[in-house]
Every structure is written in C-alpha cells, then in structure tokens.
C-alpha cells in the first residue's frame, strides 16, 4: 500500500475511533468532561468522513460506478439494518416483553423514510454518503464550469441552513446532504489542487495552520458553540450554521495535517480499511459491554469507565480483524498436492 493510502486509512480509523468514543459516553450532562468531549468530537467528526470521501472520489475506477456504490454502501446498510432490527426487537422482547417499536415505524426506519434509522443510529451515514457520492458523480461532469459548481455548493449550503432552522429530521437525511455537501466538494478540491502536498513544502505555514486550526477547535468547544453538541442526525448545527462550517473545517484541517505527518503508524490501518464494518457493528459491542458493566457494577459516566469501554471495544476489533487477516492470508496461499 502506498504512503497516501496508509495515512488516509489511518485518518479513517481515527474518525471511527472518535465515533465510538462519542457513542460510548453516558450522562454527558452530569459530567462536565464528557460534555466538552462530545462537543469537540461532534463538531467535526462526521464532516471529516464526507471530506475524506470527496478526497478519494474517482469516477474512473473499474466497473459501473452505481453498482460499486450499491455493493460498498447500500448493500451493507440493508444487511446491518435487517440484523439490527431483528436483534434489538428480540432483545427488547426478552427483557421487557415488548417490541422496540411498532412494525410500521420499523419498516419506515429500515428505509430511512421517517428521518430515523432506528436503534443502530450510525447507519444513517451510509445512506447519506451514497446520496452524496451519486450527486457528486453528476456534479463532477460540470468540472469545466467551476463557477457553476461553486454556485451550486453555495445554494446547497443555503438550503441546508434553512432546513437546519426547522429542527426536523428529514427522510434520507436530506438536511445532512444539503448542509454537508460542501465538505465533499472541498475534499475533492483539496486532492485536485494537491493542497496538502503544497503545504508540506512550507513547514512554517504547515505548523502555523495546525496550531491555528487546533486552537480554534478548542475555542469553539469551550466558548463559541453553545451548551449543546452538534448532531447532524438530529438536524442541530449548534448556535450558528456558519460557525459549524468554520469549526468543522478547522477540525478537518487539523486532522488531515496531523495524519499526513504520521503516515507510518500502521497499527490503525486495519481499522480504517474496515471502517464501514466498525460503523455498522459498534452498537452491538457497546450494548454488550454496558450490560457487562452493569453486571460487574462498574457502569457509570466517569472517565475511567469510558476509557475501559472504548479500549476494550477497540482491542476486540483489532484482535478480530488481525485474526481474520491472518486466516484469510493462509486460506489464499497456494496449495501443493502430491500424488
């Protein structure tokens, strides 16, 4: 694997770890540290994935583009959704004697038609990303008309801002598509004009941007973005949509520049390569560890419990994925047969 893909995979792994930490926090209102941590993570971690997707966009890869998106995003979405609906309803029925939700709501949530994807909430990202990928495929055909592309992105932001004012969770996450398409667009521009490579030639500017973007991110967490944390899924973008855009871009820029410097950290690569698997299965592990925490009497909103839970979840993934890789390499080795 070349250098670029290694650091991008590490960046995706970092994003997934932030997602897992965000979903592991309990009682954020009771514990000040967790409230600040959630504000920090949620201010940029999902826009980071849209930016990465735009950075990696290519319409020239082998095979039909739409078929690839079905296999890589939509098919995993429906597989995870069906498993999740069956699992959580069985769990609720065994523990409470009732279903998690009525059948009509469950069907609507499977297809993300009521602004809700059900219990396994992280799955919304796969639908939204699939829509963005398809939109950008056609959007990219206007690449000779950069001014028109810029105009459409501005219009998308305005629509997203207006939708965010309603507080309504729209079907298929349309409020997220419009409000966050700009990150996909900017990610693609970053690759097109080799902005990261150009910045790396000027170390003084490079480190100044790292410090400035990191400082603004912390300032936004502490003072600028109100008391609630941003939630794209819940259609809440903080005290100001414009401030959300600036804060998210600072978090993205900070993350990109840091991981471009530490591209040789291969331990995270396996998590980045399987980011969709982690996205779709993390709730199962988190629920399991919380139940074990209740049994052992250690379940709480403290930093210690958060550290233990996240560490065990990541360790479980690392062991399972490395074991699978090793088994897969053995199975793929050529076998010699002797008479």
Of the two residues 35 and 282, the one the predictor is more confident about is: 282
Average model confidence (pLDDT) across the chain: 90
Concatenating the DSSP letter of every residue in 185-232 gives HHHHHHHHTTHHHHHHT-HHHHHHHHHHHHHHHHHIIIIIS-SSPPBT
Would residue 90 be called left, alpha or beta, if left means φ above 0 and alpha means ψ between -120 and 50 degrees? alpha
pLDDT band at 338 (very low <50, low <70, confident <90, very high): very low
For 205-215, the pLDDT digits (tens) are 999 999 999 99
> What's the number of CA atoms in the CB half-sphere (13 Å) around residue 288?
10
Confidence band for 337, pLDDT divided at 50, 70 and 90:
very low
> Which position has the higher pLDDT, 263 or 17?
17
Helix runs in 70-123, H state only: 75-96, 103-110
Instruction: Give the largest CA-CA distance in the chain.
Output: 75
End-to-end CA distance of the chain: 38
What is the per-residue pLDDT for 84? 96
pLDDT, position 232? 95
Q: Would you say the pTM of this structure is higher than 0.95? A: no
Q: Round to whole Å and give the CA distance between 152 and 130.
A: 19
Contact (CB, 8 A) for 134 and 89: no
Alpha-carbon distance 88 to 196, whole Å? 43
Confidence bin at 53 (pLDDT 50/70/90) = very high
Using the predicted structure, report yes or no on whether residue 238 has a pLDDT greater than 80: yes
Reported as a pLDDT band with limits 50, 70 and 90, residue 80 is very high
- 90-126 pLDDT, tens per residue? 999 998 989 888 889 999 999 999 999 999 999 999 9
Least confident of 47-61, 143-157, 181-195, 225-239: 225-239
Q: Which of 40-44, 158-162, 334-338 has the lowest mean pLDDT?
A: 334-338
Measured over the CA atoms of residue 74, residue 80, residue 83 and residue 89, the dihedral's sign is negative
Token pair, residue 332, equals: 């793929």
Sequence-distant (6+) residues with CB within 8 A of 167 are 235, 236
Q: Average pLDDT, stretch 128-136? A: 97
Is residue 140 exposed (0-12), middle (13-18) or buried (19+ Cβ within 10 Å)?
middle
Q: Does position 72 have pLDDT exceeding 70, yes or no?
A: yes
**Which is more confidently placed, 205 or 59?**
205
CB 45 within 8 A of CB 26: no
The stretch 217-229 carries a mean pLDDT of: 82
> Considering only CA atoms, which of 215, 210, 193, 211 is closest in space to residue 256?
210
> 313: which 2 tokens?
């979840």
Q: 């993390």: which residue's tokens? A: 282
Residue-wise pLDDT tens digits, 246-261: 999 999 999 999 999 8
Asked whether the predicted pLDDT for residue 222 surpasses 90, the reply is no
Check if the beta carbon of residue 11 is closer than 8 Å to that of residue 255: yes
- For the cut 80, the answer to whether the pLDDT of residue 132 exceeds it is yes
- Provide the pLDDT confidence category of residue 35 given band limits of 50, 70 and 90: confident
Residues 6+ apart with CB under 8 A from 116: 105, 108, 109, 169
d(CA 202, CA 17): 30
Q: Indicate the domain borders of the chain.
A: 3-326
Q: How many helices (H) and strands (E) does the chain have?
A: 15, 0
Mean pLDDT for the stretch of residues 162-169? 93
Q: Which residues contact 257 (CB under 8 A, 6 or more apart)?
A: 196, 199, 206, 209, 210, 213
**pLDDT > 50? residue 141:** yes
Name the pLDDT band for 29 (thresholds 50, 70, 90): low
CA distance 153 to 140: 12
Read off the DSSP letter of residue 73: I
Distance of CA 278 to the CA centre of its chain: 10
pLDDT band at 228 (very low <50, low <70, confident <90, very high): confident
Q: Does residue 335 register a pLDDT over 60?
A: no
Q: Is 102 exposed, middle or buried (0-12, 13-18, 19+ CB in 10 A)?
A: exposed
User: Does pLDDT of 328 surpass 90?
Assistant: no
- Percent of the chain whose pLDDT exceeds 70: 93
């Amino acid at each position: 694997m070349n250098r670029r893909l290694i650091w991008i995979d590490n960046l995706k792994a970092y994003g997934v770890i932030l997602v897992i930490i965000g979903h592991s926090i309990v009682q954020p209102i009771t514990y000040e540290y967790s409230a600040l941590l959630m504000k920090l993570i949620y201010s940029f971690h999902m826009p980071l994935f849209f930016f990465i997707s735009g950075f990696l966009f290519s319409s020239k890869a082998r095979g039909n583009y739409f078929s690839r998106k079905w296999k890589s995003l939509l098919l995993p979405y429906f597989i995870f959704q069906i498993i999740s609906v069956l699992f959580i309803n069985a769990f609720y029925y065994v523990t409470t004697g009732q279903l998690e939700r009525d059948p009509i709501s469950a069907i609507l949530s499977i297809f993300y038609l009521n602004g809700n994807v059900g219990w396994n909430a992280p799955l919304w990202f796969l639908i939204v990303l699939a829509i963005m990928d398809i939109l950008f495929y056609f959007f990219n055909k206007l690449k000779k008309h950069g001014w028109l592309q810029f105009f459409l992105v501005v219009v998308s932001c305005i629509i997203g801002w207006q939708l965010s004012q309603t507080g309504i969770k729209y079907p298929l996450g349309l409020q997220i598509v419009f409000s966050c398409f700009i990150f996909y667009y900017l990610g693609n521009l970053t690759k097109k004009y080799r902005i990261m490579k150009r910045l790396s030639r000027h170390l003084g500017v490079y480190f100044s941007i790292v410090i400035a973007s990191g400082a603004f991110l912390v300032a936004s967490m502490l003072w600028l973005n109100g008391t609630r944390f941003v939630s794209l899924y819940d259609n809440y973008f903080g005290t100001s949509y414009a401030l959300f855009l600036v804060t998210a871009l600072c978090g993205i820029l900070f993350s990109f520049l840091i991981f471009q410097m530490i591209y040789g950290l291969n331990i995270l690569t396996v998590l980045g390569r399987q980011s969709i698997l982690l996205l779709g299965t993390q709730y199962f592990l988190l629920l399991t560890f919380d139940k074990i925490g209740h049994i052992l009497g250690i379940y709480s909103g403290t930093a210690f419990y958060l550290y233990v839970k996240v560490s065990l979840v990541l360790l479980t993934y690392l062991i399972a994925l490395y074991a699978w890789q090793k088994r897969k390499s053995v199975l793929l080795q050529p076998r010699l047969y002797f008479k």
